């Protein structure tokens, strides 16, 4: 049977583990440590409560067959007074305090995961950094693109000038023969064969960067969704539910390729269809 000292140790360990859990979470989290500390925090409370109950009620079951024999008032008052002063009572207070410490620290640790819910995304999932007049600049180098920068069959990844870190704005520009464009493509947004699509797969968001020129298809390496570049990035194979959005292209006064606005549809996975 666990002694009272053991019960106190179990509650104290549980409390410390709960505080440790909160600290680990604040420092960025570490799944193995979080799991171990949660186990100690919950296990400590469980072991402590079982030990305490056994101390109070003992291990054996006993049945008293006697009728109820109420005590007189004076003896009951005297008993209550002696209980107040007894060691048992002060021990109970101490253990109750430790139990409250263990449960309280666990409750504090449990509050931190609420932070993971984060702020609401608002409209950010529907927009990218592309604006009317944004120049198309290459990844890394930041070189602005001209209509003749790519040879026929060429492909390059671009971002809006000045916000090259916006991954949602990642775009592939491919140079195709304009005479081969299908009905799914908005030909007014194609400049000298340069056509631009979002690089984010509409399945679960992998970068779509593998271009097979003989079939004019863009391939997503994650689950092999394949998009027809000549026909508005229509899905011809794989689990992607919709085409890659096409970026409206134009040319500015200095002859550089620019966007005429943001994508007409949200890029990436079709989150707004969830739950329908």
Shorter beta-carbon distance to ligand FES: residue 152 or 223: 223
In this structure, are residues 210 and 162 in contact, taking their beta carbons and an 8 Å threshold? no
Spatial distance between the Cα atoms of 266 and 171, rounded to a whole number of angstroms: 13
Q: Which of 238, 242, 251, 270 binds ligand FES (CB under 6 A)?
A: 238
**DSSP assignment, residue 70?**
P
In this structure, are residues 206 and 222 in contact, taking their beta carbons and an 8 Å threshold? yes
Judged by CB under 6 A, the number of residues near ligand FES is 11
> Of 93-101, 119-127, 203-211, 254-262, which segment contacts ligand FES by CB under 6 A?
203-211
Our finding on whether 17 is near ligand FES (CB under 6 A) is: no
Token reading at 217:
């298809």
Our finding on whether 225 is near ligand FES (CB under 6 A) is: yes
Spatial distance between the Cα atoms of 48 and 6, rounded to a whole number of angstroms: 8
Our finding on whether 240 is near ligand FES (CB under 6 A) is: yes
Q: Which of 11, 105, 159, 203 binds ligand FES (CB under 6 A)?
A: 203
Q: How many CA atoms does the CB half-sphere of 149 hold within 13 Å?
A: 21
Beta-strand pair 226-228/217-219? antiparallel
Our finding on whether 267 is near ligand FES (CB under 6 A) is: no
Shortest Å distance, C-beta 236 to ligand FES: 12
> Of 33-41, 95-103, 151-159, 233-241, which segment contacts ligand FES by CB under 6 A?
233-241
Our finding on whether 222 is near ligand FES (CB under 6 A) is: yes
Shorter beta-carbon distance to ligand FES: residue 194 or 225: 225
The contacts of residue 201 (CB under 8 Å, 6+ apart) are: 207, 208, 220, 222, 225, 240, 244, 268, 269
Residues lying near ligand FES in the complex (CB under 6 A): 201, 203-204, 206, 220, 222-223, 225, 238-240
């Amino acid at each position: 049977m666990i002694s009272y000292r053991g019960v106190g140790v179990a509650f104290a360990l549980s409390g410390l583990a709960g505080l440790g859990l909160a600290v680990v979470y604040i420092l960025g989290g570490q799944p193995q440590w979080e799991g171990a500390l949660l186990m100690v925090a919950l296990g400590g409370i469980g072991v402590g409560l079982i030990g305490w109950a056994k101390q109070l009620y003992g291990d054996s079951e006993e049945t008293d067959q006697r009728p109820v024999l109420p005590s007189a008032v004076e003896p009951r008052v005297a008993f209550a007074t002696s209980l107040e002063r007894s060691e048992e009572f002060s021990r109970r207070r101490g253990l109750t305090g430790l139990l409250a410490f263990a449960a309280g620290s666990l409750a504090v640790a449990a509050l931190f995961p609420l932070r993971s819910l984060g702020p609401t995304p608002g409209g950010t999932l529907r927009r990218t950094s592309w604006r009317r007049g944004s120049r198309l600049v290459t990844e890394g180098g930041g070189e602005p693109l001209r209509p003749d920068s790519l040879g026929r069959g060429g492909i390059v990844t671009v971002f809006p000038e000045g916000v090259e870190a916006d991954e949602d704005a990642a775009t592939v520009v491919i140079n195709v023969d304009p005479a081969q464009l299908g009905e799914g493509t908005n030909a007014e947004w194609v400049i000298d064969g340069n056509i631009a699509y979002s690089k984010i797969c509409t399945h679960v968001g992998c970068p779509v960067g593998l271009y097979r020129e003989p079939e004019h298809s863009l391939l997503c390496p994650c689950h092999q969704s394949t998009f027809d570049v000549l026909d508005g990035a229509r899905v011809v194979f794989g689990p992607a539910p919709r085409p890659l959005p096409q970026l409206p292209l134009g040319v500015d006064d200095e002859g550089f390729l620019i966007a005429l606005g943001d994508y007409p549809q949200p890029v990436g996975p079709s989150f707004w269809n969830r739950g329908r």
